[in-house]
Amino acid sequence: MKTLLTIVLLASSLAFAQDHAAIAAAEAACGPKDVKFDAKQDATQHPAPQPDPDKAVVYVVQEIGEVQCKGCALTKVGLDGTWVGANQGSSYLFFSTDPGEHHLCLNWQSRFETRSRAFALANFTAVAGKVYYFRARIFPGHHDYSFDLDLINSDQGKFLVAISAFSNSHPKNQWTSK
C-alpha cells in the first residue's frame, strides 16, 4: 500500500511539474502579465492592408458566437513574447511580422482569475509577402471558458474580416487605469 501511495504521489508531482512547463511556454509566447489593453470595435474603418514585400501580414479574427455581451471577451494577442493588440468582442486586428517561425498567443483579459488563465496558442512560419488568417473562438464550458486559435484558409479569412468590426486597441496606462 505504501508503494502504491508513493507511486501516486510521484506521478501527481510529475504531472504538476508538467503543468508549470506548459504555463511557462504559454507565457513565453504571450507578453507580460501586467499589460492591459483598452479595445473598442470601430465600424467607421475597415483596414485590410497587403503585406510589404519583405514582411508578412497576420490577421486574428475573433468570433465569440453566443457569448455576445457588451464589453466582454477582450482578448490580448501576443507574438513571440510581445503583445501586439487586443480584440473586443467579435472583431479583428492585424499586424506585420518578419519572415520565420513565430508563436502566437491569445489570452483573455479579465478581472476574473479563471478567465485570465484562458490561453490559446499557435505557431506558424511566416513567408515574406504572404497573408495569414487566424480564427479565435471562445467556447463556454460548464464553469469556465476555453479558446481555440486556428490558422484558416485565405477565402474564409477574407470573409471573416469583411463581416467583422475592426478592433482599435492600445495598452492602458498602468498609472491611470485599472
Give the DSSP per-residue string, 91-149: EEEEEEE-SEEEEEEEEE--SSHHHHT-EEEEEEEE-TT-EEEEEEEEEE-SSSEEEEE
Residues of the chain with pLDDT under 70: 1-18, 22, 25-26, 65-72, 113-114, 141-144, 174-178
Give the pLDDT score at 26. 64
pLDDT of residue 111: 79
Q: Give residue 6's pLDDT.
A: 41
pLDDT of residue 5: 42
Strand 131-140 relative to strand 56-63, pairing: parallel
Q: Are 60 and 132 in contact (CB under 8 A)?
A: no
Q: Class assignment of domain 30-171?
A: mainly beta
The whole model's pTM is what?
A: 0.81
The predicted pLDDT at position 139 comes to 77
Number of Cβ within 10 Å of residue 105's Cβ equals: 27
